[in-house]
Amino acid sequence: MNLQIDHRPTRKERSRKRFARRRKGAALIEFAICLPFITLIVLSSMECTNYIFMRQALVQSAYEGARVAINPQSNESTATNRVKEVLDGRNIKNSSISFSPRLRNAERGDLIEVTVSAPSNGNLLFGLPGFSNRNVSVNATMVRE
């Protein structure tokens, strides 16, 4: 005995399927609208983190340069080399280094200020607006020994 039952979906089942199809379409549209904003937030977070890393590398290099510069036997070239070692280790390019006063004129007890600066262009990942075309500059000041 072979009974075959013809099952036709009820109105409720048809309505549920139609709702599920509409919901999938709405989710796709929501995703398409939100994706650019989510991408912007992620990229901005990465750029901000890289900017902070670059600034911290400049702070560290200025500190290391000042630490070498306060030594009575050192000169500007040894201090500059130390700054460049730190910056090269952190992959910071196009930096500039200055000393105030000039080390050859500094005497014991004078404040030695080392200024290190670098452009954000070429040192950040994406060059997003708000982070590009900036010149980051930091100072470290120590007393000459």
Domain boundaries, the chain: 12-143
pLDDT tens digit sequence for 102-116: 888 888 999 999 999
What are the φ and ψ backbone dihedral angles of 86, each rounded to 5 degrees?
A: -65, -45
d(CA 124, CA 132): 8
Residues in the chain with pLDDT < 50? none
d(CA 118, CA 61): 12
Predicted model pTM? 0.78
pLDDT tens digit sequence for 87-97: 999 999 999 99
Q: Within 13 Å, how many C-alpha atoms sit on residue 56's CB side? A: 7
